[in-house]
Amino acid sequence: MFVGVAGRDDLEPINGFIDDYDVGEFEHIVDESGAIWANFEIVSQPSFIFLDASGESSTYLGALGVDGLTERLDALTSN
């Protein structure tokens, strides 16, 4: 499952991003207060949080690209 967490912006630019990058197929939430970002120590976009089946998280700061994302997801699903 993917969830996009948009932070610290108005709804119009967030919706524009979703439309521009054609990522409307998965859930998006707005982290207006920055609480989710703070919880995972995210300070910039793009950033990725990966949660395994036990709830353990790992953070990747920066762009991953399709190959990098695929590699991370394969690692999570092979355990």
**pLDDT tens by residue, 31-68:** 988 899 999 999 888 899 998 888 899 999 999 999 99
The topology (CATH level 3) of 3-77 is Glutaredoxin (3.40.30)
Q: How would residue 69 be classed by pLDDT, with cut points 50, 70 and 90? A: very high
DSSP letter for 55, please: S
> Can you give the residue ranges of every domain in the chain?
3-77
The closest alpha carbon to 79, from 53, 58, 56, belongs to 53
Question: Residue 26 and residue 16: Cα distance in Å, rounded?
Answer: 15
DSSP letter for 25, please: T
Identify the bridge partners of residue 27 per DSSP, sorted by sequence position.
Answer: 3
Q: Decide: helix, strand or coil at residue 58.
A: strand
